[in-house]
Amino acid sequence: MARVPHEAGRKSDRIVEPQQEVDQLTDAMASHAVVDQAIEMIVALGRVAPDHGWAVLQYVSQHTNIKFRHVAELILIWDRNGVAPFDIRIALEEALDRYGQTQIPGSAQQ
């Protein structure tokens, strides 16, 4: 005779799967917030256009072989304590040079 799976086991599976999905969505939201904050910092301090903030992070990530989100975290840490890994600083400087500073509204044209 075939065994019928225990009913409690199936109920726990139905609870675990949605909890895993909630955990993944929570992680995604936190990651998105970290990236947004890092982009805002790059835009403000690096004086790049908002659409270039993402490109700057991407450049740093690709040229340091560090995951995108981790680069964003390191930039936020640098903002808080003034310390950033050497390779991040170099790649960030290169990226800001590449994407250039935007003209500050109201400043004299050169």
How many domains does the chain fold into?
Answer: 1
Containing domain of residue 44, as a range?
Answer: 8-99
What integer pLDDT is reported at residue 100 of this predicted model?
A: 73
Q: Over its length of 110 residues, how does the chain's per-residue pLDDT go in tens digits?
A: 555 555 555 666 666 677 677 666 666 566 678 999 999 999 988 888 888 999 999 999 999 999 999 999 999 999 889 888 999 999 999 999 998 765 544 545 44
pTM of the model: 0.67
Burial label for 71, CB within 10 Å (0-12, 13-18, 19+), is buried
Alpha-carbon distance of 61 to 71, in angstroms, equals 6
Residue 56 lies in a domain: yes
Residue 107 lies in a domain: no
What integer pLDDT is reported at residue 67 of this predicted model?
A: 93
Residue 105 lies in a domain: no
Residue 106 lies in a domain: no
Quote the strand ranges of the chain, DSSP E.
none
